[in-house]
């Protein structure tokens, strides 16, 4: 396979000057992630300057760098390395003939992105490239684009935001043929003011659609028509997905199995049945969105169904661990990466369906809810009770309203932080418990998962 980038290509894309001829096989801006043959982009941030780590990057095997100050290694010199990263991403998108999907949403965008990439790859019709981790912001998106090989057949890129206007800028870089909104929930409502503001911000993804492109929209949201209105000026075709009658892609039947879910789906011109490995109604919705995108991108629906049956949970987003506890093993469900009221309710429902001696919910506070925080934490009492939770361990000051709402209804302990949660949780676990751990990433519950699951399956 040819090099991902040559120094001449990088110089042409960025308007920079190459100090020497070199080729690279990857791109990174975090020196800790640099591997052999990579291009290191020395970014200047508020807290540090990537130029401090150039020597270390080359010690780890970097083959070249983009810098704004000359260094004693092969490099391309540019005025602004952040602008150069964006230019490299734009050049990467321009040189490929790949069919590209853009994915956004308040809930499920990373899981759906991973599932869509796996579904497209299953038929082996050419290389599939995707954003890694949650690289979905103003630096993560151009980095993901810059890493895309020219011969890519399908590209899948995640786009996130904290404020209005951010997705509009990202989607114009990605230029998707298919733009997908997974679901809407009150994430970042502190910055966007209302659910209508969130819908408008997510709807910005349609502005980047290529001519003839398809917009894929959740049918069951009350903001469906608002999203459709945002898509109409840009999309040649609008496809809805969901459980409700009238959705273009819908689940005719859903049957819960001992391991996973069987879904009979109806799509334009075709019906198919597949087994979904991941539990929960939210994953049925994700799967319908994936199938809509696969069809719109010209992928293989049968192969996509097989891929959905083999999906494993992602770290922080549904990964399941059997952990050693007193008397045997317990199930640990890792949803520690992020949380809002919709995803909390969805994963609590999954916990409620687990056969277990006890159901334990470790719930971290939800961030960036602004004036809505107290109410949105309090309403979690209903899904906690519906899930027949035996013990609720609540983490962070923001969980006080939920602790009050659960008083006298569910055994509850409210602690200040993740360390206190781990101290309280570890000695109480017993064989056949099912433990859900979920909260906003900043709460740090991933450390609780890592401590409990270390060395376990």
Report the share of the chain in percent with pLDDT over 90.
84
At residue 188, the pLDDT reads 65
Distance CA(109)–CA(102), nearest Å, equals 10
At residue 340, the pLDDT reads 87
Q: Has residue 192 got a pLDDT over 80?
A: no
pLDDT tens per residue across span 46-90: 788 999 999 999 999 999 999 999 999 999 999 999 999 999 999
Q: Has residue 119 got a pLDDT over 90?
A: yes
At residue 421, the pLDDT reads 97
Read off the pLDDT of each residue in 261-268 and give the average, rounded to a whole number.
96
Among 92-96, 212-216, 252-256, 277-281, the least confident range: 277-281
Residue in the block written with tokens 């209005």: 164
Read off the pLDDT of each residue in 429-438 and give the average, rounded to a whole number.
97
CB-count burial class (<10 Å; 0-12, 13-18, 19+) for 371: exposed
Q: What is the dihedral of CA 24, 28, 33, 34, to 10 degrees?
A: 30
pLDDT tens per residue across span 14-32: 999 999 999 999 999 999 9
At residue 456, the pLDDT reads 58
> What 3 state SS string does the chain have?
CCCCEEHHHHHHHHCCEECCCCEECEEECCHHHCCCCEEEECCECCCCEHHHHHHHHHHCCCCEEEECCCCCCCEEECCCHHHHHHHHHHHHHHHCCCEEEEEECCCCHHHHHHHHHHHHHCCCCCCEEECCCCCCCCCHHHHHHHCCCCCCCEEEEECCCCCCCHHHHHHHHHCCCEEEECCCCCCCHHHHCCHHHHHHHHHHHHHHCCCCCEEEEECCCCCHHHHHHHHCCCCCEEEEEECCCCCCEEEEEEEECCCCEEEEEEECCEEEEEEECCCCHHHHHHHHHHHHHHHHCCCCHHHHHHHHHHCCCECCEEEEEEEEEECEEEEEEEECCCCCHHHHHHHHHHHHHCCCCEEEEEEECCCCCHHHHHHHHHCCHHHHHHCCCCEEEEECHHHHHHHHHHCCCCEEEEECCHHHHHHHHHHHCECCEEEEEECCHHHCHHHHHHHHHCCCC
At residue 83, the pLDDT reads 97
Do 82 and 43 meet the contact criterion of CB atoms below 8 Å apart? yes
Choose between 314 and 323: higher pLDDT.
Answer: 323
Residue 143: pLDDT band (50, 70, 90) is very high
Q: Has residue 99 got a pLDDT over 70?
A: yes
Sign of CA dihedral 307, 339, 289, 121: negative
Specify the pTM. 0.84
CA 56 vs CA 33, 53, 389: distances in Å:
11, 5, 49
The pairing of beta strand 261-267 with beta strand 270-276: antiparallel
């Amino acid at each position: 396979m040819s090099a991902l980038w040559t120094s001449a290509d990088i110089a042409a894309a960025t308007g920079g000057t190459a100090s020497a001829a070199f080729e690279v096989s990857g791109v990174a801006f975090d020196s800790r992630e640099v591997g052999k043959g990579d291009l290191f982009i020395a970014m200047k941030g508020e807290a540090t300057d990537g130029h401090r780590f150039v020597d270390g990057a080359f010690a780890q095997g970097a083959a070249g760098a983009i810098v704004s100050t000359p260094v004693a290694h092969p490099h391309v010199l540019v005025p602004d390395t952040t602008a150069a990263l964006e230019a490299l991403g734009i050049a990467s998108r321009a040189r490929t003939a790949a069919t590209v999907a853009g994915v956004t949403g308040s809930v499920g965008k990373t899981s759906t992105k991973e599932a869509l990439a796996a579904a497209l790859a299953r038929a082996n019709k050419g290389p599939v490239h995707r954003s890694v981790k949650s690289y979905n912001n103003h630096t993560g998106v151009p980095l993901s684009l810059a890493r895309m090989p020219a011969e890519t057949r399908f590209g899948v890129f995640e786009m996130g935001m904290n404020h209005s206007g951010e997705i509009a800028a990202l989607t114009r870089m990605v230029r998707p043929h298919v733009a997908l909104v997974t679901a809407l929930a009150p994430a970042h409502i502190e910055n966007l003011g209302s659910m209508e503001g969130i819908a408008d911000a997510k709807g910005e993804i349609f502005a980047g659609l290529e001519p003839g492109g398809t917009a894929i929209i959740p049918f069951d949201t009350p903001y469906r028509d608002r999203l459709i209105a945002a898509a109409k000026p840009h999309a040649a075709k609008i496809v809805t997905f969901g459980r409700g009658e009238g959705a273009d892609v819908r689940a005719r039947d859903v049957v819960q199995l001992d391991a996973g879910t069987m879904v009979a789906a109806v799509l334009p011109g075709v019906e198919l049945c597949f087994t979904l490995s991941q539990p929960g109604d939210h994953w049925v919705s994700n799967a319908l969105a994936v199938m809509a995108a696969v069809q719109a991108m010209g992928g293989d629906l049968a192969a996509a169904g097989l891929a959905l049956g083999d999906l494993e949970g992602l770290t922080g987003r549904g990964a399941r661990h059997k952990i050693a506890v007193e008397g045997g093993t317990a199930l640990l469900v890792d949803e520690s990466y992020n949380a809002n009221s919709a995803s909390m309710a969805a994963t609590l429902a999954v916990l409620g369906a687990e056969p277990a001696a006890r159901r334990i919910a470790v719930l971290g506070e939800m961030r960036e809810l602004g004036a809505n925080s107290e109410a949105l934490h309090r309403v979690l009492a209903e899904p906690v009770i519906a899930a027949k939770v035996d013990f609720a361990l609540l983490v962070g000051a923001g969980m006080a309203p939920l602790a009050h709402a659960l008083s006298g209804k569910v055994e509850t302990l409210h602690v200040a932080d993740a360390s206190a949660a781990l101290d309280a949780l570890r000695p109480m676990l017993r064989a056949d418990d099912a433990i859900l751990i979920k909260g906003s990433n900043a709460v740090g519950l991933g450390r609780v998962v890592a401590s409990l699951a270390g060395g376990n399956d």
